[in-house]
Amino acid sequence: MVDAPAPRESGWRRWANRIQPAWVMVLVSPLMICFAWIVTFDQISKDRNAALAEGYREANGLSRSFAEMARHNLDDLDQIVRVVRRAYVAGMREDDIARMLTRAGFRESHQVQVAVLDASNRIIAGKGPDAPQWLAKAMPQRNDGPAVDRPVFSTALRAERGRPDLLAFSRPILRRDGALAGHVAVFVRPEQVLASLPRLNVGPMARQFGSIELGRDDVAAILGMDGRLRAVRLGGAALAASRWPEGPAIYRTRNGDIQPRPNARLDAVPRLWSGGYLRAYDATIVVGISRGVVLRGFERRRQLYLAGTTAFTLGVGLLTVMGAILARRQRRILQQLAESERRANELKSSFLAKISHDLRTPLNGILGFAELIKITAHEEEPRQYGEYIHDSASHLLDLVNMILDLTKLRNGTLQLQLREVDLKDIATSVSRTHSVVAEGKCLEYRLQIAPDFPAAVLCDGVRIREVLNNLAHNAIKFTRAGKVSMELFTADERVMVRVSDTGIGMSDEVKQHLFEPFSEGRDAESRLQAGSGLGLAFSKELLALHGGGIEVASTQGQGTDVTFWIPRDGPPAPPTSPTQ
């Protein structure tokens, strides 16, 4: 009886089974948090813009009401000037102008100073400040052309020696021919021009918020057409002229907004500004209300938004941490799988070592027949083919032997054949072979042996020869010009061998991986002529088996020094157990 086949899973189900929930949580959580914060900041921006718009509407209402009251004050001053000018033109020569104004119906005329000035700005009637230079600036009309009958609102004369800050409001006195005969000026304190604004009804805004008053940090000011201040109130008090900026205090942006100049701020309080013109008096009215007061309600809402989003972020973050823990567990499982793969690679290396034994037999046969072709061939071309076959087979046999020996080293089965050998003879033999290659590259090859170098060293001479061959071969291969040297000397019961070259050197990154198997070359260019990458790794293992070591000192572009050492009396004996 044949069993029915198992039902096949659909494509979407297989795809769903491959998804790891932990990684999905780790990836999606940051997106959720970013989206939440984007929405929060967008709502904060909208609320802030709405609060600022409401603040600008409030500032506009205040500036309109303030402009209306300031215009009434300036109208009163202009009426005084007109009455005095009319009396002066009619021939009235009273020195007590204040008494004349009282009779004319101005009950508070004693709070201002009124004076008549001639064309040279000298006071000829009434009272005024003793400041000729300031009067010349305050009365800009000259007698060198036709004068225009319009009011002039001067800059402030700063307080000095008991005299308060003063402003001059004047009109010209014209002769019948239109020439300038003088001025009539009213000198007032700036706070007399600015009406006190304890509470103002600003129309539509009053219906929504009730009566509005200037706050402690609100500013109301009158400026001339030159942008310079004429009078300022900060909160409920007048601001002394000594605290005013010297130059123009405001400017208009391209979209029409009023902004204070950076070097003309009254204080550090940020404000929302609005204003308008008094065309009859060539003056600008501005009101600035505290930005902090306007945004007070918005700040409370902003804190709520941030607190809510922060709580959401912490919650999602906690879930993300839990997801990360799950992902870590999965990573541990993957590491276990990687360990299994490493063990499989070790088995593979063992397999290569075993099969290397079987490879050497046919390679020896190839070497024998290649040698026979070299000897028996009568023509040059077959003999050259025999040499190529012999060289290739020899190189392949060396690699097979090296792989076998390296595997034995790793497995701990390689045995050294220790006997007393003359390292000087071995070094001379190796140098004799490699000096021929060095001369072919136009390199200087030098062998230096210290006089106190021992004649006999307990070691495996065959293995030490392999190490010397590897180091000399590498030095010559990676040197384009200069010299290669081999130096033998002793230090602290150890025999030392140093192979130096003036070649391309190597970087610190290359040196870190230099003794790893299959590490090729010293840089990108030298890898084109690199070999199998087993020589240095094999040499280090052989020297460690002798109880010695190897180190490299190299500077990129200047050369390399490779130094190794082994004990003079052979490798140290392994420690014996107490039972032995």
How much is the pLDDT for 309? 94
How much is the pLDDT for 498? 94
Alpha-carbon span 43 to 36, nearest angstrom: 11
How much is the pLDDT for 45? 94
How much is the pLDDT for 209? 37
Residue showing tokens 């046999």: 397
Strand (E) or helix (H) holding 99 = helix 97-103
Find all residues with CB under 8 Å of 285, minimum gap 6, and list them. 63, 66, 67, 70, 220, 221, 222, 275, 276, 277, 278
How much is the pLDDT for 198? 40
Strand (E) or helix (H) holding 475 = helix 461-477
The residues of the chain scoring below 50 in pLDDT are: 1-9, 143, 197-212, 522, 528, 530, 577-580
∠ CA 471-475-477, nearest 5°, is 115
Can you give 209-249 as a three-state secondary structure string? HCCECCCCCCEEEEEECCCCEEEEEECCEECCHHHCCCCCC
Strand ranges (E), 91-249: 113-118, 123-126, 152-153, 167-174, 180-188, 219-224, 229-234, 237-238
Residue showing tokens 């090729």: 520
- Which of 21, 57, 93 minimizes the C-alpha distance to 322? 21
Dihedral angle sign, alpha carbons of residues 307, 310, 312, 314:
negative
The conformation of residue 456, written as its DSSP 8-state character, comes to: -
How much is the pLDDT for 255? 66
Are 513 and 500 contacting, i.e. CB atoms less than 8 angstroms apart? no
Are 444 and 438 contacting, i.e. CB atoms less than 8 angstroms apart? yes
Decide: helix, strand or coil at residue 187. Answer: strand
Alpha-carbon span 123 to 380, nearest angstrom: 131
**349 Cα distance to chain centroid:** 49
How much is the pLDDT for 496? 92
What amino acid is encoded at 408 in this protein? K
Strand (E) or helix (H) holding 101 = helix 97-103
How much is the pLDDT for 302? 93
